[in-house]
Chains A and B, each alone.
Chain A
Amino acid sequence: MPNHWLHRGHWKYFWFCALLISLYLNLYGRQWLPRWSLKFPRQWELPLRHEISTFMNWLVEDASLGFFSFREFTRGIAWLLDIPLQIARSIFSTGLMKGVGSDAVQLLPPLPWLGVIAVVAAIGYCAKDFKLALLVAGCFAYLAVFGQWQSAMDTLASILITVPIGVAGGLLLGIISYRHHWLEKLISPFLDLMQTIPIFAYLVPILFLFGFGPVAAMVGTIIYAMPPMVRITLHALQSVPPELVEFGRMAGCVPRQLLWKVLIPSARPGLMIGVNQVIMLSLNMVIIASMIGAGGLGYDVLTSLRRLDIGAGLESGLAIVVLAVALDRLSQALAVKTQVTRLKKAPSFVARHAWLLGTTLIITVTYLLGFFIPLVQSYPESLQLTTGSSLSEAVKWLNINMFDYFEAVKSALLLNVLIPLKRFLISLPWGWVIGLLAILGWQLGRWKLCLLVVGLALFILLTGQWQKAMITVYLCGISVVIAALIGIPLGIVSATSERAWRISQIIIDTLQTLPSFVYLIPVVMLFRVGDFSAMIAVVLYAITPAIRYTAHGIRSVDAQLIEAGIVSGCTKSQLLWKIRLPMAMPDILLGINQTIMLALSMLVITALVGTRDLGQEVYIALTRADTGQGMIAGLSIAAIAIIADRLIATSAKHTRQRLGLN
């Protein structure tokens, strides 16, 4: 136990005093504190951003790998990645084309919509049951009926290439770091950075290195979506029971066999969670990818919202959601399916062949029919549905009739909570904040954590981002608190009732994959530009892990403990407060940790409604093509994320140990 000489209770007094002193500093510090302690002098800043810019320029323009330059190398990779992408696009979206540009001639049409729907339904049926087939077919039918087919197929084509690459890359890195412990140590900080630095920060170099277009978008997506796969692979491999590995060794497996025949199959369920995460995160990037030439649904969302066509924006946004749902349910069903068949007798070769034959048959028949019956090839425009302007009308109604109520709630919150908190955080001397962080780090994880936290905080300070960072902490902090206040109760409810769980799952999926831009615009209409709108957007996006992890934690509380509670005469609320919640605490903490990560990753989006934080800094740097400035701001966001992550993860570990869960 770490707190041997300072009792847990004593820390409580310490933090209470620290809070009082902070309040005092906030009210009276300005009068006697020297100016440099409040605002970090510019001449003390490190000129790091210029160095980063110079380095990036060198990397992009002059770096050489012997026979060819670094850029030629990355361009080569881009060329390689482009091949499967082009194939996927010609199958789903453009058809087989001869030539390029406006001179291109279509030799063969793409897969007809009926064919695609039939095939995904067949896969759904094969993977699970008729219900799944119906769900998946329904999802794809939505795309056709609401006129999103063409864009959706563009997006689907790039997802179908991106996800396998992300999964394979993540699997590979995960396997290597499972075998070599030093690599795990080495790549862990890079994984953190890949996940937390907003893509806008390094967008410009990526465009130089990989060319402008779908491939650069793919690279950006892979960078963002791969880290969870690495982590989950590592975790899944490490949690394979040692007896199993031992048994494999005794049976005389060489390392390769041990890996592919023993480790990976038994880690499969865990790995499938990774696949699911890669799919979800890839679809998250659709909007940003469309800004750099990926086109597809993301582009439709952006264009319609610039026209303030909320209905069209939502239709395109929902198309991303249904794609995500279809792909997610299919991949999950396939994961379970392979497990089940493994237990049963392996199906005969012919039985498996029947499905392959069936789908080939569907494709061939619909494809040929498509040549003669246009209805089979593409969904007729005259039968397309649209919500038209009804959604815009609904927002208008809300706006005209309810605005005063919204305004009252908003003003009350802003004037009494948000603005005072913002002022409070900005007015704290940086030395005091770093000192408190150091003590917190020491309390939780002794020297190692303390040094890490102080080092990261100093990085933010020395690169001149302190004030922006405090605004970031304020905006994310308050959003996370609100997200937790709403999300944890929702999680508890959905853990206790199957029906609520199903509903909340729909909400979670929608919130996680619906591009936030879709709801950002109505939110601005109802709440004006400013921190409040940004906060709502962040809460909506970041609430999902709070719900999910809480529900998971509560559901996985040992049934015997509950039993014991009931036997000793606990009431329902006692069961919840004395058993379920405390036992689920480590999970809830991890959920909050993830909530913080998502909140930070939303910063770049909220910059679009005019916040003044680090996200805005990244955005400004992008528009000025200043890679150094962007990277510094991006790294500062990453620093905040890592500080929060390490502190919370360590305290979750302590809680776990205290509860004897490990």
Chain B
Amino acid sequence: MNKLNSWKNTLLMLGLSLACAATVQAAVESKDPIKLTLHDWTGQLISTQIMGEVLKKAGYNIQYVQADYIAQFAGLKTGDLHVAMEIWETTGREAMDEATATGKVENLGESGMLATEEWWYPDYMNDLCPGLPDWKALKNCAKQFSTPETAPMGRYLGAPVTWGGFDDERVEALDLPFEVVHAGTDAALFAELESAYQRKAPVLLWVYAPHWAPIKYKGEWVKFPDYNQECYSDPSWGLNPDMAYDCGKPTGPIWKVSWSGLKDKWPGAHKIIRAFKVDNAEMGAMISNVDLEGEKLEKIVSAWMNTNSARWQQWIK
């Protein structure tokens, strides 16, 4: 950090924030910092920093805190942390429900992004297993997807056990000749995809979006019978009359949550965070800018702020 520059920046920022405070909002309820949590995946860093920038424009004092995705709920309950921008329906539902049930954590609604997750394969597999992406093709392709440990069954690399997803049940209900192997983290999941993709080797695994993987690698999601609620709850529904889970996975919103005290301490911020909405396409583009093209995250965030000023000004009104 250049010393002179940082002085200049400080002055500039001071001036800016004074100007903002004067024009946008006369005074905010409290100058205590609102603590937003940062996790370890890019999309979350982007949405959190956009939120932070918008709150700053509205005159709030904000602070970023690095926290584990699930462990953060302990902090949100006690008010040590205030806002978490991305709780995925698909992976964080249990922890979120447990936390909101205590009354100490509040759900601030959807972030506008939809989490998609499903079995996924790279497009070179289309030649080896004709009939894909229809799931029925998998019934005859177990050999193409098998490894020495799983042979004669195919190998499907599922998500970490903690993410749920009912893949073991799905394999049984749809009578697929596959063995489900669970990765422990998504880093491991995508490490294996990267490795297979480099070798153009067969691979069938759980991929989710918004994420850089479906942007970087060419491939498709397997098409299972469409999800609906009865499929998961009622065994008689669907192809297999005796078992539930004989369909694809649901897509689900990504939620914003906060400490319950937020709405009393910073009512204005509470309103702004509720208003925040970003969709899959623009998030996907920003993620690939950062992860694949190596742009600086701050640069992407400020570019978003510039091009979308009408939108966020609507939020802070």
A joins B in a complex: yes
**Bound-complex Cα distance A198 to B38 (A):** 24
User: Closest CB-CB distance, A578 to chain B, in whole Å?
Assistant: 44
On whether the beta carbons of B42 and A525 are closer than 8 Å, the reply is no
**Bound-complex Cα distance A611 to B41 (A):** 23
User: Closest CB-CB distance, B14 to chain A, in whole Å?
Assistant: 7
On whether the beta carbons of A100 and B3 are closer than 8 Å, the reply is no
A residues less than 8 Å from B184 (CB atoms):
529, 606-611, 616, 619
Query: Is residue A207 within 8 Å, beta carbon to beta carbon, of the partner chain?
Result: yes
B residues less than 8 Å from A105 (CB atoms):
10, 14
Query: Is residue B95 within 8 Å, beta carbon to beta carbon, of the partner chain?
Result: yes
Please, which residue of chain A has its CB at the minimum distance from the CB of B38? A299
B residues less than 8 Å from A396 (CB atoms):
198
Query: Is residue A521 within 8 Å, beta carbon to beta carbon, of the partner chain?
Result: yes
- Chain A's interface size range is 35 or more
Query: Is residue A290 within 8 Å, beta carbon to beta carbon, of the partner chain?
Result: yes
A residues less than 8 Å from B103 (CB atoms):
none
Query: Is residue B220 within 8 Å, beta carbon to beta carbon, of the partner chain?
Result: no
**Bound-complex Cα distance A461 to B162 (A):** 24
**Bound-complex Cα distance A377 to B52 (A):** 28
User: Closest CB-CB distance, B277 to chain A, in whole Å?
Assistant: 23
Tell me whether A293 and B198 are in contact in the complex, defined as CB-CB below 8 angstroms, given that A109-B3, A414-B149, A609-B188 are known contacts: no
A residues less than 8 Å from B66 (CB atoms):
290, 293-295, 299
Query: Is residue A419 within 8 Å, beta carbon to beta carbon, of the partner chain?
Result: yes
Query: Is residue A431 within 8 Å, beta carbon to beta carbon, of the partner chain?
Result: no
Please, which residue of chain B has its CB at the minimum distance from the CB of A407? B148
Tell me whether A377 and B161 are in contact in the complex, defined as CB-CB below 8 angstroms, given that A524-B192, A529-B188, A610-B183 are known contacts: no
Query: Is residue A642 within 8 Å, beta carbon to beta carbon, of the partner chain?
Result: no
A residues less than 8 Å from B188 (CB atoms):
520-521, 524, 529, 608-610
User: Which of B1, B34, B65, B77 neighbours the largest number of chain A CB atoms within 10 Å of its CB?
Assistant: B1
On whether the beta carbons of B61 and A101 are closer than 8 Å, the reply is yes
On whether the beta carbons of A306 and B40 are closer than 8 Å, the reply is yes
CB interface residues, A 2-60, toward B, < 8 Å: none
CB interface residues, A 385-421, toward B, < 8 Å: 396, 399-400, 403, 407, 411, 414-415, 419
**Bound-complex Cα distance A302 to B67 (A):** 12
Tell me whether A101 and B34 are in contact in the complex, defined as CB-CB below 8 angstroms, given that A203-B71, A399-B199, A622-B71 are known contacts: yes
B residues less than 8 Å from A399 (CB atoms):
195, 198-199
User: Closest CB-CB distance, B139 to chain A, in whole Å?
Assistant: 24
Please, which residue of chain A has its CB at the minimum distance from the CB of B203? A528
Partner of A292, one of B68, B147, B185, B291: B68
CB interface residues, A 190-213, toward B, < 8 Å: 203-204, 207-208, 211-213
CB interface residues, B 32-58, toward A, < 8 Å: 32-35, 40-42, 52, 56
Q: Mark B64-81, 1 if CB is under 8 A from A, else 0.
A: 011110111111011011
Please, which residue of chain A has its CB at the minimum distance from the CB of B149? A414
**Bound-complex Cα distance A520 to B41 (A):** 18
B residues less than 8 Å from A609 (CB atoms):
183-185, 188
Query: Is residue A170 within 8 Å, beta carbon to beta carbon, of the partner chain?
Result: no
Query: Is residue A496 within 8 Å, beta carbon to beta carbon, of the partner chain?
Result: no
Q: Mark B1-28, 1 if CB is under 8 A from A, else 0.
A: 1111110001000100100000000000
Chief secondary structure at chain A's binding surface = helix
B residues less than 8 Å from A299 (CB atoms):
40, 66
Query: Is residue A378 within 8 Å, beta carbon to beta carbon, of the partner chain?
Result: yes
**Bound-complex Cα distance A307 to B43 (A):** 11
**Bound-complex Cα distance A600 to B60 (A):** 46
**Bound-complex Cα distance A622 to B72 (A):** 11
User: Closest CB-CB distance, B305 to chain A, in whole Å?
Assistant: 14
Tell me whether A103 and B161 are in contact in the complex, defined as CB-CB below 8 angstroms, given that A212-B72, A414-B148, A529-B181 are known contacts: no
On whether the beta carbons of B65 and A212 are closer than 8 Å, the reply is yes
Query: Is residue A106 within 8 Å, beta carbon to beta carbon, of the partner chain?
Result: yes
B residues less than 8 Å from A620 (CB atoms):
161-162
User: Closest CB-CB distance, B137 to chain A, in whole Å?
Assistant: 23
Tell me whether A374 and B3 are in contact in the complex, defined as CB-CB below 8 angstroms, given that A100-B63, A103-B31 are known contacts: yes
Partner of B149, one of A207, A403, A415, A619: A415
Query: Is residue A515 within 8 Å, beta carbon to beta carbon, of the partner chain?
Result: no
**Bound-complex Cα distance A211 to B65 (A):** 12
B residues less than 8 Å from A293 (CB atoms):
65-67, 75
**Bound-complex Cα distance A525 to B195 (A):** 5
**Bound-complex Cα distance A102 to B20 (A):** 14
CB interface residues, B 162-212, toward A, < 8 Å: 162, 181-192, 194-195, 198-199, 201, 212
On whether the beta carbons of A371 and B3 are closer than 8 Å, the reply is yes
Query: Is residue B125 within 8 Å, beta carbon to beta carbon, of the partner chain?
Result: no
On whether the beta carbons of A619 and B63 are closer than 8 Å, the reply is no
A residues less than 8 Å from B81 (CB atoms):
212
**Bound-complex Cα distance A207 to B99 (A):** 14
**Bound-complex Cα distance A606 to B188 (A):** 11
Tell me whether A415 and B148 are in contact in the complex, defined as CB-CB below 8 angstroms, given that A100-B63, A103-B17, A623-B70 are known contacts: yes
User: Closest CB-CB distance, B209 to chain A, in whole Å?
Assistant: 15
Query: Is residue A526 within 8 Å, beta carbon to beta carbon, of the partner chain?
Result: yes
**Bound-complex Cα distance A478 to B76 (A):** 42
Query: Is residue B234 within 8 Å, beta carbon to beta carbon, of the partner chain?
Result: no
Please, which residue of chain B has its CB at the minimum distance from the CB of A624? B94
Query: Is residue B62 within 8 Å, beta carbon to beta carbon, of the partner chain?
Result: yes
Query: Is residue B98 within 8 Å, beta carbon to beta carbon, of the partner chain?
Result: yes
B residues less than 8 Å from A451 (CB atoms):
none
User: Closest CB-CB distance, A659 to chain B, in whole Å?
Assistant: 44
Tell me whether A378 and B68 are in contact in the complex, defined as CB-CB below 8 angstroms, given that A524-B188, A525-B191, A529-B188 are known contacts: no
Query: Is residue B269 within 8 Å, beta carbon to beta carbon, of the partner chain?
Result: no
Tell me whether A411 and B149 are in contact in the complex, defined as CB-CB below 8 angstroms, given that A212-B65, A524-B192, A525-B192 are known contacts: yes
A residues less than 8 Å from B78 (CB atoms):
208, 211-212
Tell me whether A608 and B33 are in contact in the complex, defined as CB-CB below 8 angstroms, given that A374-B2, A378-B2, A411-B149 are known contacts: no
Partner of B74, one of A212, A303, A371, A608: A212
Query: Is residue B113 within 8 Å, beta carbon to beta carbon, of the partner chain?
Result: no
On whether the beta carbons of A213 and B65 are closer than 8 Å, the reply is yes
On whether the beta carbons of B74 and A291 are closer than 8 Å, the reply is no
User: Closest CB-CB distance, A533 to chain B, in whole Å?
Assistant: 8
User: Which of A306, A399, A607, A611 neighbours the largest number of chain B CB atoms within 10 Å of its CB?
Assistant: A306
B residues less than 8 Å from A610 (CB atoms):
160-161, 181-184, 188
Please, which residue of chain B has its CB at the minimum distance from the CB of A71? B78
Please, which residue of chain B has its CB at the minimum distance from the CB of A200? B71
B residues less than 8 Å from A207 (CB atoms):
71, 74-75, 80
User: Closest CB-CB distance, B283 to chain A, in whole Å?
Assistant: 16
A residues less than 8 Å from B162 (CB atoms):
619-620, 623-624
On whether the beta carbons of B70 and A378 are closer than 8 Å, the reply is no
On whether the beta carbons of A101 and B75 are closer than 8 Å, the reply is no
Partner of A624, one of B4, B17, B68, B95: B95
Q: Mark A620-641, 1 if CB is under 8 A from B, else 0.
A: 1011110000000000000000
A residues less than 8 Å from B33 (CB atoms):
100-103
**Bound-complex Cα distance A378 to B98 (A):** 46
User: Closest CB-CB distance, B163 to chain A, in whole Å?
Assistant: 9
Partner of B181, one of A211, A415, A530: A530
Please, which residue of chain A has its CB at the minimum distance from the CB of B55? A102
**Bound-complex Cα distance A103 to B34 (A):** 11
Q: Mark A579-618, 1 if CB is under 8 A from B, else 0.
A: 0000000000000000000000000001111111000100
Q: Mark A100-137, 1 if CB is under 8 A from B, else 0.
A: 11110110010000000000000000000000000000
Besides A105-B14, A529-B183, A529-B192, 5 other A-B contacts (C-beta < 8 A): A292-B71, A303-B40, A399-B199, A524-B191, A625-B73
- Some 17 contacts from A to B, beta carbons below 8 A apart, are A100-B61, A101-B32, A101-B33, A203-B71, A204-B74, A307-B42, A308-B187, A308-B190, A371-B3, A374-B4, A524-B195, A525-B195, A528-B147, A609-B185, A620-B161, A623-B70, A625-B73
Residues of B participating in the A interface, judged by any CB pair closer than 8 Å: 1-6, 10, 14, 17, 31-35, 40-42, 52, 56, 61-63, 65-68, 70-75, 77-78, 80-81, 94-95, 98-99, 147-149, 157, 160-162, 181-192, 194-195, 198-199, 201, 212, 291
- 4 closest cross-chain pairs (CB), A and B: A101-B33, A212-B75, A207-B74, A101-B63
